[in-house]
Amino acid sequence: MQKIPEAGYEIKGLPIAGLQRSLTLDNLSFPFKLVKSLRAAYQIVQDFRPDAVVGVGGYASGPVLYAAQNKRIPTLVQEQNSYAGLTNKLLAKKANAICVAYPNMEKFFPSRKIKITGNPVRKDILDLSGKKEIGLEHFGLAADRKTVLVVGGSLGARTLNQAVLKDMHKLEESGYQVLWQCGKFYFKEMLATLENADLKHVHLREFIREMDLAYAVADLIVSRAGALSVSELSLVGKPVIFIPSPNVAEDHQTKNAMAFVNHQAAVLLKDAEAIGQLKSKIDALMQDGNLVEALGKNIRKLAKPDAANAIVIELEKLVK
């Protein structure tokens, strides 16, 4: 609701929310939110009169694609994760095309509808050549230190932040520098702690907009394993330690990460083990030059740089 208007596009919100897997009072309001969202979605589709509708698996995709399908408007489902979400699984039955980022998705969707396209990513990371020096200056980093980039998403990830806090002195003492996006939920807390830490090479940011420069300066990346993060990192081609969030439906971040780990394209560190083990994991990886090279080479093999164009081609087929 923030990023779309910032990009210059109008957006309409629906009151729909997720159905909790456990018994909770929030679920009592779900039917009312669903009915209200369906009514709004029908009105949006009627007013906008689309030639095709795309759903990417969020809660709002459900009512909108349902309305479009009932009006016999072509629909395309884009599944970003290696484990399909409930919304997409329900909508796929009547969808005209299903674009996926991982192989072996026939267990969730009709095989005749599946197109392996990958996930769209920002264009500025497609070519990082010549950006390292610019990035070092931009972030105020030292050229003679190995850089660990820690990214927990725009909102932040508590485990990643706590893991860095625990090991930040040891990381600096070992000759590393850390470029750390902690997220807006945790920025004030992390900043207050860091101000008393007397560290010169731990660089805290609430949010990094220039991710192409951050990727360019990184020698190693520590990240959650959300679908778009994983897709971006495959294009970057740097060694990655994935710390999947355990607080997601069907543990899909672990499944995303394992799709890369199984191809020797990334390293997995469990969320429950991250605090206290991050430094040793970084050391083990950075001290093995052959492993660093292999991880970078293997993760790049899984990249799909033309994903956005491939999805548009499938959309054009539906419209024509």
Taking the alpha carbons at both ends of the chain, their separation in whole angstroms is 31
71-83 burial: b if 16+ Cβ within 10 Å, else e: eebbbbbbbbbbb
Q: Can you tell me whether residue 276 is helix, strand or coil?
A: helix
Is 208 annotated to bind a ligand? Reply is yes
Is 81 annotated to bind a ligand? Reply is yes
Is 11 annotated to bind a ligand? Reply is no
Helix (H) or strand (E) holding 310: helix 307-319
Residues 6+ apart with CB under 8 A from 314: 76, 97, 99, 115, 117
Helical H segments across 202-261, by residue range: 211-217, 227-236, 252-261
Count CA atoms closer than 13 A to 175's CA, side-chain side.
8
**Long-range contacts (CB closer than 8 Å, 24 or more residues apart) made by 188-191:** 190/161, 190/165
Is 253 annotated to bind a ligand? Reply is yes
Is 122 annotated to bind a ligand? Reply is yes
Residue 120 near residue 307 (C-beta atoms within 8 A): yes
Q: Which residues pair with 241 in a beta bridge?
A: 222, 267
Place of tokens 């020797």: 264
Residue 163 near residue 152 (C-beta atoms within 8 A): no
> How far is CA 220 from each of CA 10, 187, 199, 281, rounded to the nearest angstrom?
37, 22, 20, 11
Is 178 annotated to bind a ligand? Reply is no
Place of tokens 């485990």: 159
Is 229 annotated to bind a ligand? Reply is yes
Residues 6+ apart with CB under 8 A from 316: none
Query: How many whole angstroms separate alpha carbon 227 and alpha carbon 116?
Result: 14
Overall size of the chain counted in residues:
320
> What residues form the annotated binding site?
81, 122, 154, 208, 227-232, 253
> What residues form the annotated binding site for UDP-N-acetyl-alpha-D-glucosamine?
81, 122, 154, 208, 227-232, 253
